[in-house]
Amino acid sequence: MDNTDAKNWDNNHFMHPWEGMNEIGKNNRAFIEASNGVYVTNDAGEKLIDGPAGMWCVQVGYGRHEIADAMADQARKLAYFSPFNNTSSITTLFAREVAKRAPGDLNHVFFTTGGSTAVDTAIRFVHFRNNLMGRPNKKKIISRQKAYHGSTYLAAAVSGKERDRLWLDKPDELAVFLPDVNPLLRKNGQTVTDFLNEKIADLENVIVAIGADNIAAFIAEPILASGGVIVPPEGYHKRCFEICQKYDVLYISDEVVTAFGRLGHWFASKEVFGIQPDIIICAKGLTSGYSPMGAAIFSERLMDDVTGPKGRGATFSNGYTYSGHPVSAAAGLASMQIIERENILDHVRSVTPLFQERLRGLSSLPLVVDARGMGLMGCVQCSYERDKNSSLENDYELGALIDAECQKNGLVLRPIINMCVMSPPLVISDGQINQMFDILGRAIKTVATSRAL
């Protein structure tokens, strides 16, 4: 297939995630064909810094032969075998290494095919446990506006991004959504402390109104990633966790984005936010994106409630053909070894101040309403009116316009409506961080100027 054929076929027949129906046939997606370190190369041979690390996932960077070799060796030895009645030592070893790094008594690892299926697994387990415990009504899940937990039916049902809910069905009886926790949305004169108190009250009020007997779990990303890198006020997770404990509501921490180094630790729940969740979900960085895999990690305490005589001979009828795929496990182990050997967690902690300083330095530029983030996660929110409440219709294209300008100059971003999101490979250097923000700053100014002309 020559290049034009490939573009035509891609435009008309390859259904991409979040495909805009009006755009089918008209898109002109860049073909990304090669990669190395923090760079990807497009079909025109241009080298670009990968701002979003693929999709928040290529932790150790591209072109790691060590991971490719581990995957190839494993594929030659045993590409696949059913995980239902048998097992393989590579996957068991990987489960043990994941559990070793998870906080506290989170030591039961259920491998899935990605983040969405890990979220499904967690919710199905929570329901299963309550069924076994004779609490059939304790099933509702509390989530939050702007949360993204995945694209399977169940994971989508607990996701709170309004636009994603417009045209697709979802079981509305399952989830309750708390208001946005973005401190940018504080009312005039409201302090961050007052805002925090309000958000904590939102959670407690919902539990009291619906009744703790009807609520199974609270699910939360430590930082709402695809919702626009929303960092809740300091102390938010700890206080939510305390409320959950008070009412016997389980805490599911969705660390699909934050685990495996993005905030400078294997997992962020305990080390960064001081909580010991009942379940942690991870994916993406689990294999540095070299092969699909996710995991739901359950605490010993939860497992105690469903095993032995308490298990009543029940089966947790949930799983996937590719649960614990040996080639993905090999990729995950190799990635973990690289993170350890190259002290990548320390590296993230040492480059974070520069990343965050350069990010916040964009705040004074035209168009920029907010520049926020944590660790190696950042988001620049823009609006033509520089109004945090501006109508998104006016600003719909802004993220894409800034991304297109950046791509001309060597940086690819993740545009989300009026926001530009960045979460580069964790191995990014100080020099590359500076280069990234220099390009982004210039692109914002160019887009602002072209509108003014």
Ligand X SMILES: Cc1ncc(COP(=O)(O)O)c(C=O)c1O
d(CA 385, CA 366): 9
Q: Which two tokens stand for residue 74?
A: 């494993």
SS3 breakdown of the chain: % helix, strand, coil, rounded to 5?
A: 45, 15, 40
Q: Which of 61, 115, 228, 424 binds ligand X (CB under 6 A)?
A: 115
Q: Which of 59, 91, 226, 423 binds ligand X (CB under 6 A)?
A: 226
149 touching ligand X, by CB under 6 A:
yes
d(CA 367, CA 362): 10
148 touching ligand X, by CB under 6 A:
yes
**Binding-site size, ligand X (CB under 6 A):** 15
d(CA 325, CA 339): 21
254 touching ligand X, by CB under 6 A:
yes
Which amino acid does the sequence have at 228?
A: G
Q: Which two tokens stand for residue 227?
A: 């919702």
C-beta closer to ligand X: residue 106 or 306: 106
Q: Which of 70, 181, 225, 426 binds ligand X (CB under 6 A)?
A: 225
Sign of CA dihedral 286, 297, 158, 171: positive
Sign of CA dihedral 385, 388, 390, 391: positive
Which amino acid does the sequence have at 208?
A: V
- For the CB of residue 366, give the shortest distance to ligand X in the complex, in Å: 30
C-beta closer to ligand X: residue 152 or 390: 152
d(CA 95, CA 114): 15
Q: Which of 35, 88, 116, 288 binds ligand X (CB under 6 A)?
A: 116
Which of the stretches 219-227, 323-331, 403-411, 419-427 binds ligand X when contact is defined by CB under 6 A? 219-227
Which of the stretches 147-155, 171-179, 233-241, 377-385 binds ligand X when contact is defined by CB under 6 A? 147-155
Strand partners, 374: 377
C-beta closer to ligand X: residue 241 or 320: 320
Give how far Cα 330 sits from Cα of 75, 95, 110, 233, 338, Å.
9, 11, 16, 38, 12
Query: Which parts of 117-146 interact with ligand X (CB under 6 A)?
Result: 119
Per-residue binding letters, 363-402, with ligand X (x by CB under 6 A): ----------------------------------------
- For the CB of residue 254, give the shortest distance to ligand X in the complex, in Å: 5
d(CA 259, CA 136): 32
Strand partners, 297: 109, 280
Which of the stretches 202-210, 218-226, 236-244, 395-403 binds ligand X when contact is defined by CB under 6 A? 218-226
d(CA 288, CA 54): 10
Q: Which of 176, 207, 282, 283 binds ligand X (CB under 6 A)?
A: 283
C-beta closer to ligand X: residue 254 or 405: 254
Which amino acid does the sequence have at 412?
A: V
C-beta closer to ligand X: residue 358 or 372: 372
C-beta closer to ligand X: residue 256 or 362: 256
C-beta closer to ligand X: residue 119 or 329: 119
Q: Which of 176, 216, 249, 257 binds ligand X (CB under 6 A)?
A: 257
Q: Which two tokens stand for residue 252?
A: 């599911």
Residue nearest to ligand X (CB): 115
E strand intervals along 291-433: 294-299, 368-374, 377-382, 411-412, 414-416, 419-422
Which of the stretches 121-129, 188-196, 251-259, 321-329 binds ligand X when contact is defined by CB under 6 A? 251-259
Contact between 88 and 451 (Cβ < 8 Å) = no
Which amino acid does the sequence have at 320?
A: Y
Q: Which of 51, 61, 83, 114 binds ligand X (CB under 6 A)?
A: 114
- For the CB of residue 304, give the shortest distance to ligand X in the complex, in Å: 27
R_g (Cα) of the chain, nearest Å: 22
Contact positions vs ligand X (CB under 6 A):
114-116, 119, 148-150, 221, 225-226, 254, 256-257, 283, 294
